[in-house]
Amino acid sequence: MRRLIPPSILSFFSALGLIWALLVPGASPALAQVLAPAAASAAANTPPEAAVVIFNRTIAVYRAPFLGVSPAERARRTHLYMNEVLARTGAGEVTIKQEPQGRIIMIDGEMALVLTPEDVDARTAKTLDETAAAAKFQLQQVIAETRESRDESKLLRGLLIAVAATLVFAGLLALLRRGQRALAAWLSSQMSRRAAELEVAGTQLLQGDKVLTMVSWGVRGGGWALLALLSYQWLSLVLSQFPYTRPWGEQLSGYLWQVVVRLAGGILGALPDLFVAVVIFLLARGVINLITPIFDRIERGDASLGWLDRDTVRPSRRIISTAIWLFALVMAYPYLPGSSSEAFKGVSVLLGLMISLGASSIVGQGASGMILMFSRTIRVGEYVRIDGHEGTIVELGMFNTRIRTGLGEELAMPNSLVMGTVTKNYSRAVNGPGFIVDTVVTIGYDTPWRQVEAMLIEAAHRTPGVLSTPSARVFQTALSDFYPEYRLVCQAVPSQPRPRAEVLSALHANIQDVFNEYGVQIMSPHYLGDPAEAKFVPKSAWFTAPAKS
């Protein structure tokens, strides 16, 4: 009784029961008990496929029983009958007869095989007529090759062609071997000569032994690839000369041709999208070229656009250019070849994850650089003191700030350090160009403060590079237990990044000379006990030279 129920009907009721179980609450347990045997019976009663293969050619594939005969038995009977039919010496005319049960393929008016609608492959979009036509074509090929296998002249001709192909193949292998050696020697000599000429700052970029190894591996790889292609073609040609092995040769040739067609089709199919991507990148390039003259004028100081001046034009140029290219990349991404493939998506996700995990410090440095540039905290050419280091700013970059000291050093400080440290700017509060030069001395209370101020100002006037206008000033910053503190502040004009250290050194030398000339010691007093006489300056000595009343 089970054979009277087609598997398709069992599958239909199984699907219907599954829908009912999902929609009706409480129906799943009972339905599972009912449908489980039916599904198991349908799976057990589905017969395996069976192919009819003659002379290494697949004529047809049986996928369902016919008149109670299983696909395997149908294939066995068809194979036996086909061998009897092919052994005859008839005309070998293949025809297709339409019947209600299916399509009957006949040879010289005799039935060879029957194809039913259940034999059509459901995975393809072919109809029963198309399946029968394909079987007819394969059967005609088998008939022709069967007769060819009984023709000694054709077999001898195929054998001669195979021998000739083998000799040509051997000659090509020998020629390939010699050509490989000659090419390797020529490329090695050329690359060695070019590598010897390729130098930067007197250093050879490429080493001779590395070049020879690279050339050897390249030529060897190309030779093996060409050898594989020649062997593939030779084997396909030889197999195609004999009726029994011809299907194998056709499969080899067909596979290679499919690969070529697939590659060519992929390239041709990608050309329109690639053209759109190129147009998008060209438009981005055109926009950047259009705004470049504006940035150049602002950088030269010929123009200004409010917030955009000489200090912020360089980072603004980088930000705008990067934003334009990123926008172009996002717009062109769907048109890039292979962008929809899973491999491309996986690589994109991996790159995004790597950037997210490893770029936190880089983003922080870049953000700090942007804040320094646009807030104008420091500028190129200003003399500053950052984290105990003094020097002139020579570059304010995206990730670090370069400072050149007056001692022959150049410091590169991360922008996050500059942002998190108190910056002392000696150039910002001056009148006009230049920077502030200051120094501190401590003199005892027995020296008149007016005399100290006058001597410090005189030392400043003697120092080359210190401006007379604005004039140097002296501030008493502290009255300590043993001495007051005097701070000399003056302004100097730099001609290059190093003069401040030289100016400060010359200023200290002049202070010593002036104090020595007027007989005033710079050594600050410290007491272990009270002095015998009070340390004070009488009024008559308040204006001791060079101080003036």
Q: CATH number for the domain including 501?
A: 3.30.70.100
Residues 86 and 167 in one domain: no
Q: What is the mean pLDDT of residues 239-267?
A: 76
Identify the residue with better confidence: 336 or 407: 336
Residues 21 and 65 in one domain: no
Q: CB of 486 within 8 A of CB of 442?
A: yes
Q: What is the mean pLDDT of residues 68-73?
A: 84
Tell me the torsion sign for CA atoms 307, 310, 311, 317: positive
Q: Report residue 420: phi and psi, to 5°.
A: -95, 10
Q: What is the pLDDT of residue 454?
A: 94
Residue 467 located in a structural domain: yes
Query: Per-residue pLDDT tens for 311-324?
Result: 667 777 888 888 89
Q: What is the pLDDT of residue 70?
A: 86
Residue 292 located in a structural domain: no
Query: Per-residue pLDDT tens for 168-191?
Result: 888 888 888 888 788 877 877 777
* C-alpha to C-alpha distance for 351 and 312, rounded to whole angstroms: 31
For strands 484-492 and 473-479, give the pairing: antiparallel
What residues have CB less than 8 Å from 125, skipping those under 6 apart? none
What residues have CB less than 8 Å from 424, skipping those under 6 apart? 384, 385, 386
Residues 127 and 95 in one domain: yes
Helix pair 128-149, 71-86: axis angle to 10 deg: 40
Task: Work out the percent of the chain whose per-residue pLDDT is above 90.
Answer: 10
Query: Per-residue pLDDT tens for 417-451?
Result: 888 788 877 777 666 667 788 899 999 888 899 99
Domain that holds residue 164: 152-244
Query: Per-residue pLDDT tens for 513-523?
Result: 999 999 888 88
Q: What is the pLDDT of residue 305?
A: 66
Best CA proximity match to 436, nearest among 494, 387, 523: 494
Best CA proximity match to 322, nearest among 297, 371, 351, 287: 287
C-alpha R_g of the chain: 48
- Single out the residue in 149, 182, 213 at which a domain terminates: 149
Query: Per-residue pLDDT tens for 101-127?
Result: 888 888 877 777 888 888 888 787 788
Residues 467 and 528 in one domain: yes
* Maximum mean pLDDT: which of 62-71, 358-367, 483-492: 483-492
Confidence of residue 16 (pLDDT cuts 50, 70, 90): very low
Q: CB of 423 within 8 A of CB of 386?
A: yes
Residues 41 and 59 in one domain: no
Q: What is the pLDDT of residue 476?
A: 94
Instruction: Report angle CA 374, 377, 379 to the nearest 5 degrees.
Output: 85
Tell me which H or E stretch contains 93: none
Bridge partners of residue 383, in order along the sequence: 392
Task: Work out the percent of the chain whose per-residue pLDDT is above 70.
Answer: 79
- Residue 479: exposed, middle, or buried by beta-carbon count in 10 A (0-12, 13-18, 19+)? exposed
- Single out the residue in 425, 454, 477 at which a domain terminates: 425
Q: What is the mean pLDDT of residues 399-421?
A: 80
Q: What is the pLDDT of residue 484?
A: 93
Residues 164 and 105 in one domain: no
* Maximum mean pLDDT: which of 148-157, 165-174, 231-240, 405-414: 165-174
- Single out the residue in 189, 222, 244 at which a domain terminates: 244
Residue 411 located in a structural domain: yes
* C-alpha to C-alpha distance for 113 and 126, rounded to whole angstroms: 19
Mean of all residue pLDDT scores within the chain = 77
Window from 341-350, 357-366, 432-441 with minimum mean pLDDT:
357-366
Coil/strand/helix, residue 6 = coil
Residue 503 located in a structural domain: yes
Query: Per-residue pLDDT tens for 188-242?
Result: 777 766 665 555 545 555 555 666 777 778 778 888 888 888 887 888 888 877 7
Q: How far is CA 62 from the centre of its chain?
A: 51
Tell me the torsion sign for CA atoms 533, 538, 541, 543: positive
Residue 332 located in a structural domain: no
Q: Which two tokens stand for residue 289?
A: 């070229």
Residues 143 and 158 in one domain: no
Single-letter code of the amino acid located at 108: D
Q: What is the pLDDT of residue 282?
A: 92
Residues 165 and 133 in one domain: no
Single-letter code of the amino acid located at 403: I
Q: Which two tokens stand for residue 187?
A: 């490329």
Confidence of residue 139 (pLDDT cuts 50, 70, 90): confident
For strands 389-396 and 400-404, give the pairing: antiparallel
Residues 136 and 202 in one domain: no
Q: Which two tokens stand for residue 327?
A: 């926008």
Helix locations, 412-486, DSSP H:
415-419, 449-462
Q: Is the pLDDT of residue 475 over 90?
A: yes
Total domains, the chain: 5
Q: CB of 442 within 8 A of CB of 484?
A: yes
pTM more than 0.75: no
Coil/strand/helix, residue 48 = coil
Best CA proximity match to 75, nearest among 115, 44, 21, 46: 115
* C-alpha to C-alpha distance for 158 and 246, rounded to whole angstroms: 11
Q: What is the pLDDT of residue 460?
A: 93
Identify the residue with better confidence: 220 or 478: 478
Q: What is the mean pLDDT of residues 28-38?
A: 45
Q: How far is CA 6 from the centre of its chain?
A: 56
Confidence of residue 526 (pLDDT cuts 50, 70, 90): confident
What residues have CB less than 8 Å from 441, skipping those under 6 apart? 452, 456, 485, 486, 488, 511, 522
Bridge partners of residue 58, in order along the sequence: 53
